[in-house]
Amino acid sequence: MDGSSGREPGFRDSVDLMFNRAAALMDLPPGLEEKIRVCNSTYVVRFGVKLRGRITTFTGYRSVHSEHMEPVKGGIRYALSVNQDEVEALAALMTYKCALVEAPFGGSKGGLCIDPRAWEEDELERITRRFAYELAKRDLINPSQNVPAPDMGTGEREMAWIADQYRRMNTTDINANACVTGKPIHAGGIQGRVEATGRGVQYALQEFFRHPEDMAEAGLTGSLDGKRVVVQGLGNVGYHAALFLSQEDGAKIVGVIEHDGAVVREAGLDIPSLRSWIVNHGGVRGYPDATFVENGASVLENDCDILIPAAMEGVINLSNAERIRAPLIIEAANGPVTAGADDVLRKRGTVIIPDMYANAGGVTVSYFEWVKNLSHIRFGRMQRRQEESWHRLIVDELERLSADKGLGWTLSPGFKERYLKGAGELELVRSGLDDTMRGAYQAMRQVWHERDDVSDLRTAAYLVSIARVAASYRAKGL
Ligand SMILES: NC(=O)c1ccc[n+]([C@@H]2O[C@H](COP(=O)([O-])OP(=O)(O)OC[C@H]3O[C@@H](n4cnc5c(N)ncnc54)[C@H](O)[C@@H]3O)[C@@H](O)[C@H]2O)c1
């Protein structure tokens, strides 16, 4: 379902319009712009599964947008609204996202038209295995060709089934585990992948709030502490973003919009308790510690400092853009702001941290997981040795300097012990993600501030991404 008005282009056209705006500012060789923009291929499969005494036919998609780097990468979405236009738009965003955070992948995306809530777990397993079989036999799941991950409606459980199905079909492939990311830890996953996209949203906001010049563009001052936040979608991405921002940065989540309505509370919502209510009751309706709003989408227009759409595409469109009051929007979902709404908001001075950057935490940690699977070494084990010797050097040097200069500095025994022990997998993943989010933001903001013809972060992000994809095509040839 796309919440945009009938006057607006579809999701893929909307992504293309944003791409075109940036590409027009570049000096690309003739024809390369189109080569980068178009989706290379989309495979559509219809398959039947015997369920509840009858055969049910499902339709699935896997789009490959760009193979300038392989494997290509992108999640698999389970929703009734999945269609070719949506999957191709999402695959395109994957290309630009990977280029922006320098994850060495082309872009891809998949989807299955299904309401996951309508099926039991064992039924979903049979459906998922069959879909995985259909994709794997065409190398649309493959550690060196095409590596899916979770998206809306899927998670660790589905990724474990997909990995197992691929392994059964390729028993001699020693790298079989790397055919999909977002797996559970005990099935070849990596610490920190489940939280990664929401964690990335937090790191993105932290980086934004390190730059007073950028905050001023949105008319914001101070830090994340006390900022009033509205979140749409308390699923994987929205939940982790809201949890970390409220528990670690002091932000107040004053509104949460879900599929059945919204809840608001000026003093701030308790995110873990709201999440368990949603899990147990199927939505936010009836949650005791907040005011329920029947027309959930109207809460997008509430007064707040930061709006985090983390559910689906097209929710901020020409029908509501004029009424959006948040000065800062961070696109945790893919494509939540249509091209038309983007024009309206840009002219009004709303700062939008674009999807291809804001939700890149997932693919960044997926990259770490893929590398871990291919290296066949527990992540952190090799690094730890090396780090230990560096940490030892730093501690020794600090103590020597302090003694030489008579400063009397001492490190607390607890700190010294933790520092010398080095980082475990989770710390390595988080610090690698933080580094990536900081680096990509800085690349974007440099273009934003240095070029007179760039007035927004999205165009800046596209400029960085397109230049990198173009460089890859130019280096390799087509
Ligand atoms: N999971 C990832 O790692 C990842 C990575 C990058 C981008 N994304 C993007 O983030 C978005 C959310 O993905 P997710 O993995 O968190 O999905 P999810 O299925 O875990 O959660 C989606 C949430 O949105 C809610 N929702 C559905 N329709 C809604 C509506 N009309 N209004 C309000 N809420 C609604 C659902 O009830 C659910 O709680 C998608 O756009 C996805 O493409 C996800």
Q: Has 109 been annotated as catalytic? A: yes
Dump pLDDT digits (tens) for 404-415: 888 877 777 766
pLDDT at 423: 64
Cα of 417 to ligand 1 centre, how many Å?
A: 40
pLDDT at 2: 43
Q: Whose Cα sits closest to atom 33 in ligand 1? A: 258
| Domain membership flag for residue 77 | yes
Is the same domain home to 214 and 75?
no
Domain stop point among 187, 214, 237: 187
The domain in which residue 337 lies consists of 196-361
Q: Which residue has the tokens 């368990």?
A: 276
Q: How far is residue 39's CA from residue 414's CA, in Å, rounded to a whole number?
A: 53
pLDDT at 418: 61
**What b/e readout covers 431-457, taking b as 16+ CB neighbours within 10 angstroms?**
ebbbebbeebbebbbebbeeeeebebb
> Who contacts 228 (Cβ-Cβ below 8 Å, separation ≥6)?
251, 252, 254, 303, 304, 305, 306
| Domain membership flag for residue 302 | yes
> Who contacts 266 (Cβ-Cβ below 8 Å, separation ≥6)?
254
Is the same domain home to 349 and 204?
yes
User: Residue 351 forms beta bridges with which residues?
Assistant: 328
Is the same domain home to 173 and 55?
yes
We report the CATH number of the domain holding residue 237 as 3.40.50.720
| Domain membership flag for residue 419 | yes
Question: Is 236 one of the annotated binding-site residues?
Answer: yes
pTM of the predicted structure, to 2 decimals: 0.92
Is the same domain home to 231 and 354?
yes
Is the same domain home to 72 and 175?
yes
Cα of 146 to ligand 1 centre, how many Å?
A: 22
pLDDT at 315: 98
pLDDT at 476: 82
| Domain membership flag for residue 472 | no
Cα of 258 to ligand 1 centre, how many Å?
A: 10
Q: Which residue has the tokens 């879909």?
A: 131
Cα of 310 to ligand 1 centre, how many Å?
A: 6
| Domain membership flag for residue 34 | no
pLDDT at 417: 65
Q: Whose Cα sits closest to atom 12 in ligand 1? A: 311
For residues 92 and 466, the answer to whether their CB atoms sit within 8 Å is no
List the beta strands (DSSP E) in 244-346. 252-258, 261-264, 291-293, 306-309, 328-330
Rounded (to 5) percent helix, strand, coil in the chain? 50, 15, 35
Note the Cα 66 to chain centre separation in Å.
Answer: 18
Catalytic residue among 35, 109, 252, 416: 109
C-alpha angle 384-377-379 in degrees, rounded to nearest 5: 45
We report the CATH number of the domain holding residue 168 as 3.40.50.10860
Is the same domain home to 247 and 285?
yes
Q: Whose Cα sits closest to atom 22 in ligand 1? A: 235
Residue ranges, the chain, pLDDT below 50: 1-4
Domain stop point among 333, 361, 389: 361
Contact residues of ligand 1, CB 6 A cut-off: 150-153, 197, 232-238, 257-259, 296, 310-312, 332-334, 359, 362
Number of domains within the chain: 3
Dump pLDDT digits (tens) for 256-299: 999 999 999 999 999 999 999 999 999 999 999 999 999 999 99
Is the same domain home to 304 and 416?
no
Cα of 233 to ligand 1 centre, how many Å?
A: 6
Is the same domain home to 270 and 148?
no
Domain stop point among 187, 217, 236: 187
Is the same domain home to 177 and 214?
no
Is the same domain home to 352 and 203?
yes
Dump pLDDT digits (tens) for 156-181: 999 999 999 999 999 999 999 999 99
Is the same domain home to 127 and 230?
no
Is the same domain home to 201 and 307?
yes
Question: Is 366 one of the annotated binding-site residues?
Answer: yes
Q: Whose Cα sits closest to atom 17 in ligand 1? A: 152
| Domain membership flag for residue 18 | no
| Domain membership flag for residue 461 | no
| Domain membership flag for residue 127 | yes
Phi, psi of 458 (to 5 degrees): -65, -45
Burial class (CB in 10 A: 0-12, 13-18, 19+), 324: buried
pLDDT at 1: 38
Site to probe by mutation for ligand 1, drawn from 86, 109, 152, 284 as the one with most ligand atoms within 8 Å of Cβ, is: 152
